[in-house]
Amino acid sequence: MEFKTDTIKINGNEYRYYPLAQLNEKYDVDSLPYSFKILLENMMRNFDGIDINEKSIDNTASMKTGSEIAFKPSRVVFQDYTGIPILLDLAAMRSYLNSKNVSPEKLNPAVQSDMVIDHSVIVDTFKDTEPIIINMKDEFERNIERYNFLKWAKESFENVRIVPPGHGIIHQINLEYFSSLAVKKDGTIFPESLIGADSHTTMIGGIGVLGWGVGGLEAEASMLNEPYFMTVPEVIGVNLKGKLNTGVTPTDTVLYITKRLRSENVVNKFVEFFGNINELTAQDRATIANMAPEYGATIGYFPVDNETLQYIRATNRDADSVEAYFKAQGLFYNGPKRYNRVIDIDLSEIKSSVAGPKNPDELVELKDLRGTVKGLIENNHGDVVNDGSVVIAAITSCTNTSDPTVMLGAGILAKKAYEHHLTSKDYVKTSLAPGSRVVTDYLKAAGLLDYLNKVGFDVVGYGCTTCIGNSGPLIPEVQKDILKNNIKTYAVLSGNRNFEGRINPYIAGAFLASPVLVVAFAIAGRVDIDFENEPIGFDGDRPVYLRDVWPSSEEIKKYFYLAMDPEAYRKEYAEVFEGDANWNSLKSSKSTLFTFDDSSTYIREPPWLYLDPVKNIKNARIFAIFGDKITTDHISPAGPIAKDSVAGKYLSSLGVSEMNTFGARRGNHEVMMRGGFSNPKIRNLMVDKTGGYTIFYPSGEEMSFYDAAMKYKSENVPLVIFAGKQYGSGSSRDWAAKVTALLGIKAVIAESFERIHRNNLVDMGVIPVQIDKMPELKGDELISIDGIENINKNQDLTIRINSNEIHGKALIYTDAELNYIKSGNILKYISEQIK
């Protein structure tokens, strides 16, 4: 099968391209969803007749849901928590090849791969003189070994770019700088597509780029130019109707859409927005696309239109090429397309809201918040805080700091509050962590940054911070009060996730809110407040209500036109690969092989290439029984390592005093194994308490998950997990699958799986088995699964529980996934193909 090329002239330069119109002879390409057109162009351009073949074209063009396809993304992105394990795996694969007398230089990234170091900065210092300087100094002191490794990787691997700490968040930098939308390479122009080792890679769909999050293992394969294998998804069209009401923020909009689409079951589906999309700016759309993982979709996609072009120009990029190419290919928005299903969402129904306290889809309208919180607390009073007190208020996350309207709105509210002699409460840990330096530039230009500082919101760093659990310790007297008097306190953050235990282990929950509301909550100091009828504070004797300080649309527009300048994007991104003195002082060397040090507590050679594949599952023990919504945070925490934890005790035994976080120690499998399933909020139904505990059988002894796993391993006993719905929701964290494999778990048996975690389990050789309903279990049963020896795609399996039987299905979707299972994991499979 051959495809014709044509030429297009843009600003005097001529480029080849693959016209989609040539497929119209056989398929109605014009009516296809925009995202499918991008997939088709990719398949035409990368057609090899083997992995990307005529069947891939037909399955996509015919929208044959569930059929197998493959494509090759043009770029891969990742942050340091996922990126260091990725680069470490590549280094280990080189060592493995060398041990097999295969030239290690043969293993090199062939696809442009971009990392932003954004996950390691912790909010240790705040409400201080330039806390960012102290936090960045602490960051480097903690992570010097990791960053030395990254400098080695940058020098030693091809096609790897690394943005040093202190520049921003991967998805915001991707949105504002990395993404070109129309890629020009070797005289050919084509639509950009990408995958990222972070679930919120979907954010790029807000400006018409096809991209989504995958596990780090799949990202590694794509970096090495392996096709990305998937099945044709359903495409859900979301018809936006009506207009947003005055005072409704982009955050309110995305929280409403998250709640609505989660209830519509769009899991593993492509979501395309149409209708009144002109009511939303490109940044508003990016906010909605960012939270696709929270509403369960693979992507949230907004087609390229005039608003997109305006944003590309405003951020100092080539909009002419985007416009010419997308219009020539029929990719420029011209109304709705053919969808498997359409969902109507009326924008006028959206009200001011927050989401929480445990999940992003728990929408609470602001008017109902007081009543909701009152149902959660017991009215306990402490010496410093009370039930319902806000102890963390964080303007954080690319989800919202990428949108100038809410950031300027937060600054305006701070200004008005300060003019009313209001500031944040002393017991609230406040922070401002922009997703790029451009945010600080326009807040300064608007004269609003100083007011944010005055009410407690100093810039603490440029990175993910509180959103990923790097909120740092609570104010000491607050934490002491919480523990002493059993106080239920809360965080409020402008992030995208608020799962149990994620933000801080000592708080009762967290609410997601716009940056504007985050400032208001910090001033009010409590979540059990009726903003309509209760003041947020007093100016002398006069009560000040939220409506008195709330920014109007006209005020936001005024500051927007005053402060926004394309020159800021040019200036900041001209230096995006330059580090500060800390970064520049790190060692840098280039070599084919990395020298691993077994005494290192950060960087160890991983064991993946020496793991055996699952051969059979007979007389396995139940490792854990979980309910619904077990997240990857539960399975493999990213936050601080407690000194009295299994991992903390292990590090202490090696003479380590600075524990750091699990995320920072993902380069050390010994630490990560001990942290597996150790989230203090995890609930194993086999024990009567929360935390990382299980029962070892047949003795019936309670012990940590790690200790039980090691004891079972010494006796050659395979393990399985039983769980309810949405197992593995949340972050794309491949370590949640890696630790599962390392602890000896051969299969996870659940009612449903979140997309990325299912992929990751398969990539690590663990079999995901779907069942209709969780059986009644005690935990002491013996489990056998028939048919593992000759397992196939989507195979029906019989699960024997003692003498009873239930039936399940192996969620192995493609031939490639089957190869990964049979080899032991994806890394072994890829390594074995290199000769």
The Cα-based distances of 678 to 84, 692, 710 in angstroms read 22, 4, 15
What's the order of all strands across the beta sheet hosting 6-10? 6-10, 13-17, 188-191, 182-185
Dihedral of the alpha carbons of 560, 561, 562, 568, in degrees to the nearest 10 = 80
Q: What pLDDT sits at residue 359?
A: 94
How buried is 8 (Cβ within 10 angstroms: 0-12 exposed, 13-18 middle, 19+ buried)? middle
Residue type, 26: K
Residue type, 43: M
Q: Does a cis peptide bond (omega within 30 degrees of 0) precede residue 698?
A: yes
Whole-number Å distance between alpha carbons of 388 and 379: 8
- The hierarchical CATH code for the domain 353-545 is 3.30.499.10
Q: What pLDDT sits at residue 587?
A: 82
Whole-number Å distance between alpha carbons of 256 and 641: 34
Tokens of 201: 């890679």
Whole-number Å distance between alpha carbons of 556 and 443: 12
What 3-state class would DSSP assign to 641? coil
Hey, how many other C-beta atoms are within 10 angstroms of the C-beta on 421? 12
Q: What pLDDT sits at residue 780?
A: 98
Q: Please give the share of the chain, as a percent, with pLDDT higher than 70.
A: 100
Q: What pLDDT sits at residue 106?
A: 95
Give 787-822 as a DSSP string.
T-TT--TT-EEEEEETTEEEEEEE---SHHHHHHHH
Whole-number Å distance between alpha carbons of 406 and 446: 14
Residue 287's Cα: distance from chain center in Å? 13
Hey, how many other C-beta atoms are within 10 angstroms of the C-beta on 530? 13
**Superfamily holding 75-349:** Aconitase, domain 3 (3.30.499.10)
Q: Are 181 and 312 in contact (CB under 8 A)?
A: yes
For the chain, the first-to-last Cα distance in angstroms comes to: 29
Locus of tokens 């919504």? 629
Of residues 500 and 636, more confidently modeled = 636
CA atoms within 13 A on the CB side of 748: 34
Q: Are 549 and 103 in contact (CB under 8 A)?
A: no
What 3-state class would DSSP assign to 538? strand
Residue 634's Cα: distance from chain center in Å? 15
Alpha helices in 239-390 (DSSP H): 250-263, 282-290, 292-295, 306-314, 319-328, 369-374
Q: Which sequence spans correspond to the domains of the chain?
A: 6-71, 75-349, 353-545, 610-833
Phi and psi, residue 720, nearest 5°:
-135, 160
Phi and psi, residue 199, nearest 5°:
-60, -25
Using alpha carbons, select from 442, 425, 658 the residue that is nearest to residue 522.
Answer: 425
Whole-number Å distance between alpha carbons of 775 and 767: 19
Using alpha carbons, select from 633, 741, 729 the residue that is nearest to residue 680.
Answer: 633
State the average pLDDT for the chain.
Answer: 96
Whole-number Å distance between alpha carbons of 477 and 482: 9
Give 296-315 as a DSSP string.
T-SEEE--B-HHHHHHHHHT
Residue 143 pLDDT greater than 90, yes or no? yes
Whole-number Å distance between alpha carbons of 386 and 302: 44
Tokens of 463: 């990175």
Q: What is the pLDDT of residues 639-669, one digit of tens each?
A: 899 999 999 999 999 999 999 999 999 999 9
Residue 453's Cα: distance from chain center in Å? 29
Give the pLDDT band of residue 730 (cuts 50, 70, 90): confident
DSSP summary character for residue 547:
H
Locus of tokens 């420029």? 332
Beta strands in 752-795 (DSSP E): 767-771, 782-786
Whole-number Å distance between alpha carbons of 65 and 340: 9
Whole-number Å distance between alpha carbons of 741 and 231: 25
Q: What pLDDT sits at residue 493?
A: 99
Q: What is the pLDDT of residues 800-828, one digit of tens each?
A: 999 999 999 999 999 999 999 999 999 99
Q: Are 738 and 215 in contact (CB under 8 A)?
A: no
Q: For residue 835, what are the contacts with CB-CB under 8 A and spacing of at least 6?
A: 102
Tokens of 77: 């992105």
Cβ burial 463-491 (10 Å sphere, 16+ → b, else e): bbbbbbbbbbebbeebbebbeeeebbbbb
Tokens of 494: 């402008």
Locus of tokens 């951020």? 315
Q: What pLDDT sits at residue 128?
A: 87
Whole-number Å distance between alpha carbons of 354 and 361: 10
What 3-state class would DSSP assign to 212? strand
DSSP summary character for residue 726:
S
The Cα-based distances of 715 to 576, 765, 778 in angstroms read 52, 21, 22
Domains 75-349 and 353-545 share a fold: yes
Q: What pLDDT sits at residue 789?
A: 85
What's the order of all strands across the beta sheet hosting 363-365? 363-365, 353-355, 509-512, 490-493, 390-395, 429-432
Give the pLDDT band of residue 195 (cuts 50, 70, 90): very high
Q: For residue 189, what are the contacts with CB-CB under 8 A and spacing of at least 6?
A: 8, 10, 15, 16, 17, 182, 183, 321, 325
Q: What is the pLDDT of residues 387-411, one digit of tens each?
A: 999 999 999 999 999 999 999 999 9
Phi and psi, residue 699, nearest 5°:
-70, -25
Tokens of 366: 């602001």
Q: For residue 687, what are the contacts with CB-CB under 8 A and spacing of at least 6?
A: 693, 694, 695, 702
Q: What is the pLDDT of residues 72-116, one digit of tens each?
A: 999 999 999 999 999 999 999 999 999 999 999 999 999 999 999
Mean pLDDT over residues 338-344, rounded? 99
- The hierarchical CATH code for the domain 610-833 is 3.20.19.10
Residue 332 pLDDT greater than 90, yes or no? yes
Residue 732 pLDDT greater than 80, yes or no? no
Helix, strand and coil in the chain, % to nearest 5:
40, 20, 40
Mean pLDDT over residues 711-719, rounded? 98
Q: What pLDDT sits at residue 572?
A: 96
CA atoms within 13 A on the CB side of 645: 28
Q: Are 169 and 397 in contact (CB under 8 A)?
A: yes
Q: Are 391 and 428 in contact (CB under 8 A)?
A: yes
> Which pTM was predicted?
0.93
Q: What pLDDT sits at residue 503?
A: 95
Q: Are 526 and 390 in contact (CB under 8 A)?
A: yes
Q: Please give the share of the chain, as a percent, with pLDDT higher than 90.
A: 96
Q: What pLDDT sits at residue 733?
A: 87
Mean pLDDT over residues 297-313, rounded? 98
Q: Are 325 and 335 in contact (CB under 8 A)?
A: no
Residue 183: which region, alpha, beta or left (left: phi > 0; alpha: psi -120 to 50)?
A: beta
